Structure formats: C-alpha cells, structure tokens
Amino acid sequence: MRIRPGTLTAIGVTAGIVTPLITRRGGVFVAVAAVLVLTTAGTDVARSALTVHTGRRGARGQVFDALGARIAEGAWLWAFYVLGAMGGVVVLAGALSWMHEYVRAKAVGEGMTEPGMQTLGERNMRVLIAVIGFVVAGAAVVLGDGMSAGFATGIASLAATAWALLGALGFVQLLIVVGSTLR
C-alpha cells in the first residue's frame, strides 16, 4: 500500500479539527459532524491495521497517534460547546478523558498490560457518544421547528454530560485496577 500510517493520522486529526467548524454552520452540518467523527475513528482503525500489516509501528507514530486522538476528542467536545453544551461540563469531560489516557499510559510504562485496563471511559465509548449526539442534534435542527435549536443544545449538553459521567466511572475503574495490580 502506498498510504503511510502518518497520513491516516493526519486525515483523522483534520476531520476532528473540522468538526466544530462545520457544526458552527448549523442545519444539516450538525449531522455531518457525526460523519467527521466516524472518519476520525475509521482512520484510527485503518492506521492500526496498516501498521500491523506493514510492520511500521514505531514509537514516534504511537506518540503522534495518541496526540492526534486527544486533539480530535477535544475538537468534538468543542463542537458540543458550539451547540450550547455548558463549558464546565465540556471541560470536565475532556479532563477526565485525558487523565484516563495519561494514567493508562503511565501504567503501561510501569509494566501493566492493556487488557486489564478496559473501562467505561474508553475511546470507543467517546466516539459512540459523539456520533449519537451529533446525529440526534442534527436531526433536531434539520427536522424541527423554531424550538429545535434548544433541543439541539439539550442533546449536546446530554452528550457532554454522558461523556463526563462515563469518563468519571471509567477513571475510577482504572484507578482501582491500577491500584490493585501495580505495587
């Protein structure tokens, strides 16, 4: 294959960064944000498969992939904020996600294996929340009447809150597993 893993990372990060920009346009673009989230998630999966297939799994790529994922997630949360989600909830959701990933990385660095650290706050869950949030908020804006903007704000707030709650539960899960496993 001629495509490099770094190219897929760049495509995913770009799709993530475009998400709040396109969401700001409103209307059908709110639902298009879900496609951008799926594009980012799809490039993550494709990049992982490509690195295994080609043997191009380097430490630098791992660092930039993790950074790209955090940037994309921050952009998705910013898009929820653009739709009207409360800033404090958005910041809390992001902080919990980033702390979760930081603790996981430190635990792996100390010898803990990944399978023992699967929690409710995983990236898969964050992707699912973002996709559902943007699809439902977008449908509300496109199909609704004058009150649909308020409904979209409510959906964005609900999605950010679900992200924060699952992030908190996942973080506690992770701390329990790390605390009981590492000495």
pLDDT at 56 over 80: no
Mean pLDDT, residues 175-182 taken together = 89
CA distance 103 to 106: 5
Lowest mean pLDDT of 18-22, 82-86, 113-117, 135-139, name the range. Answer: 113-117
| Overall domain count for the chain | 1
Residue 40: per-residue pLDDT: 96
Note down the domain range covering 172.
Answer: 5-181
**Entry pTM:** 0.91
- Name the region of 111 (left: φ>0; alpha: ψ -120 to 50; beta: rest): left
* Structure confidence by residue, pLDDT tens digits, 102-160: 998 899 889 888 666 789 999 999 999 999 999 999 988 888 765 666 888 999 999 99
Q: Say how far residue 177 (Cα) sits from the centre of its chain.
A: 22
Q: What is the CATH number of the domain that holds 139?
A: 1.20.120.1760
Quickly tell me which residue has 């910013």 as its tokens. Answer: 78
Residue ranges of alpha helices (H) inside the chain are: 5-23, 28-54, 59-83, 87-109, 123-143, 148-181
Q: Using 50, 70 and 90 to split pLDDT, how confident is the model at 165?
A: very high
